[in-house]
């Protein structure tokens, strides 16, 4: 296991110095799930919520969250994001949220993609909670990242979500 880069030798918190890093193309993909009752899922798919199109509101919330990640996560760098893509898919009893973020910068966009997933899932929960109090948000995780010194990471596709 490597060292924790956000701590100095004496244990003090610190922002990682990226001043000497090269600007490279950075990309990160993340996913998360909102488990819900089948009736809730049907209403979501048919866009039958009086509050409006839940998925489009969640998409907008996720995009906005990427731009505010450095305000939410201590020690996160402010990044000039170039592209954010948020997709939704319906599975047996859950909605899958997948976010892809990219830019050219000195540090990666993993936190931006994960933050967008979390906020999009929370938005779905918020807008559907009046009809389904048993929803669950789970398995928010990084799927892929590229760029930078640590290179390319791709989650093993056989590491399925255990549901």
Per-residue pLDDT of 47-70, as tens digits, reads 887 778 999 999 999 999 999 999
Q: Name residues whose C-beta falls within 8 Å of residue 38's C-beta, 6 or more positions apart in sequence.
A: 93
Q: How far is CA 71 from CA 28, 65, 68, in A?
A: 19, 9, 5
- Report how far residue 108's alpha carbon sits from residue 103's, in angstroms, rounded to the nearest whole number: 8
Whether the predicted pLDDT of 118 surpasses 90 = yes
- Which pLDDT does position 149 carry in this prediction? 83
User: pLDDT grade, residue 16 (50/70/90)?
Assistant: confident
Question: Does the CA dihedral 93-95-34-56 come out positive or negative?
Answer: negative
Instruction: Name the residue with tokens 């669950």.
Output: 136
pLDDT band at 86 (very low <50, low <70, confident <90, very high): very high
- Would you state the structure tokens that stand for residue 46, as one six-digit string? 């048919």
User: Is the confidence at residue 141, as pLDDT, over 90?
Assistant: yes
Query: How does the average pLDDT of the chain come out, rounded?
Result: 90
SS3 content of the chain, % helix, strand, coil (to 5): 30, 30, 45
Q: What is the pLDDT, as a whole number, of residue 65?
A: 98
Q: What pLDDT score was predicted for residue 12?
A: 73
**Both structure tokens of 92:** 């047996």
- Residue 145 — very low, low, confident or very high, per pLDDT cuts 50/70/90? very high
Length of the chain: 163
**HSE of 96 in the Cβ direction (CA atoms, 13 Å)?**
13
Catalytic residue numbers? 126
- Residue ranges and CATH numbers for the domains of the chain are 24-145 (3.30.70.640)
Residue 6 pLDDT: 63
Bridge-partner residues for 136, per DSSP? Answer: 35
161 has a pLDDT exceeding 70: no
């Amino acid at each position: 296991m490597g060292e924790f880069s956000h701590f100095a030798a004496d244990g003090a918190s610190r922002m990682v110095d990226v001043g000497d890093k090269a600007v490279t193309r950075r990309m990160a993909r993340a996913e998360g799930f909102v488990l819900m009752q089948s009736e809730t899922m049907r209403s979501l798919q048919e866009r039958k919520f009086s509050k409006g199109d839940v998925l489009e509101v969640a998409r907008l919330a996720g995009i906005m969250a990427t731009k505010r990640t450095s305000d939410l996560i201590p020690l996160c760098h402010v990044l000039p994001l170039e592209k954010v893509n948020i997709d939704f898919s319906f599975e047996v009893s859950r909605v899958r949220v997948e976010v892809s973020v990219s830019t050219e910068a000195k540090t990666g966009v993993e936190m931006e993609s994960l933050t967008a997933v979390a906020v999009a899932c929370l938005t779905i929960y918020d807008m559907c909670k009046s009809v389904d109090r048993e929803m669950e948000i789970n398995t928010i995780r990084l799927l892929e990242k590229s760029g930078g010194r640590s290179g390319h990471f791709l989650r093993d596709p056989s590491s399925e979500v255990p549901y």
